[in-house]
Structure 1
Amino acid sequence: MNVQIIADSASDLPDSYIEQYGIKRVSLTVHLDDQDYLDAVDIQSKDVYDAMRNGKAPKTSQVSPQTFKDLFEEYAKKGQPCIYLALSSELSGTYQTAKMMQQEVLEEYPDFQLEVIDTHCASLGYGLVVLRVAQLAQENADMETLLKTAESHMNHMEHIFTVDDLEYLKRGGRVSAAAAFVGTMLKIKPLLHVENGQLIPLEKIRGQKKVFKRMLELMNERGEDLGNQPIAISHGDDAERAEQLAEMIREEHGTQEIIIHQIGSAIGAHAGPGTIALFFLNKPYE
Structure 2
Amino acid sequence: MRMKYKIVGDSSCDITKQMEEDMNIAIAPLTFTLDGVEYVDDDNLDLENYLRKIDQSSNVPKSACPSIQDYLDHFEGDHEWVFGVTLSSELSGSYNSAMNAKTMYLEKYPEKKVHIFNSRGASTMEVLIALKVHELVEADEKSFEEIVDHVEAYIEEAKVLFVLDKIDTLEKNGRMSSMKAKIVRALNLKLILKATPEGEIDMVDKARGSKKALTKMVNSMPKVGTISKDKILAISHCNALERAEYVKELASELYDFKDIIILKMRGLSSTYSNEGGIIISF
Offset at 1:230?
1.3
Paired residue type of 2:117: I
Q: Tell me the secondary structure at the aligned position of residue 10 of structure 1.
A: coil
Q: Distance in 1 between matches of 2:50 and 2:263?
A: 15
User: Deviations for 1:199-243, whole angstroms, at most 9, x for unmatched residues?
Assistant: 322234130143122212211223434444211111121111111
For residues 113-128 of structure 1, what are the structure 2 equivalents within 5 Å? 113-128=113-128
State whether structure 2 residue 180 is matched by structure 1 residue 179: yes
Note if contact 1:233-1:276 (Cα within 8 Å) is conserved in structure 2: yes
Residues 9, 26 of structure 2: 8 Å contact kept: yes
Is 1:246 matched with 2:248? Answer: yes
1:63 aligned residue? 66
Alignment match, 1:139: 139
CA distance in 1, matches of 2:146, 2:214: 36
Q: Is the 8 A contact 1:169 1:271 kept in 2?
A: no
Alignment check: 8 A CA contact 2:8 2:74 kept: no
Deviations 1:131-160 (A, max 9, x none): 111222233343123202221221111111
User: TM-score, length-normalised on structure 1?
Assistant: 0.88
Q: Is the 8 A contact 1:27 1:41 kept in 2?
A: no
Matched letter for residue 260 of structure 2: I
Does the 8 A contact of 2:28 with 2:66 survive in 1? yes
Q: Which residue of 2 aligns with 1:193?
A: 194
- The Cα shift of 1:30 comes to 2.9
Q: Distance in 2 between matches of 1:21 and 1:105?
A: 22
- Structure 1 residue 33: deviation in Å? 5.9
**Structure 1 counterpart of 2:52:** 50
Cα shift at 1:255? 4.0
For 1:206 and 1:110, how far apart are their aligned partners in 2? 54
Cα deviations by residue, 1:109-145 (Å, 9 ceiling, x for unpaired)? 3333122221212111221111111222233343123
The count of corresponding residues between Structure 1 and Structure 2 is: 277
What is the aligned partner in structure 2 of residue 84 from structure 1? 84
TM-score by length of 2: 0.89
The answer to whether residue 104 in structure 2 is matched with residue 101 in structure 1 is: no
Aligned residue type for 1:151: E
Q: Is the 8 A contact 2:26 2:74 kept in 1?
A: no
Alignment-mate amino acid for residue 250 of structure 1: S
In the alignment, what sits opposite 2:208?
207
- When residues 47 and 197 of structure 1 are mapped into structure 2, their CA distance, relative to the original with a 3 A threshold, is farther
Who is 2:7 aligned against? Answer: 5
- In structure 2, distance between residues paired with 1:249 and 1:227: 12
Structure 1 letter corresponding to 2:208: G
Q: Tell me what 1:283 maps to.
A: none
The aligned amino acid for 1:145 is E
Change over 3 Å in CA distance of 1:27–1:261 after alignment to 2: same
Q: Percent identity?
A: 26
176-185 vs 28-37, which moves further: 28-37
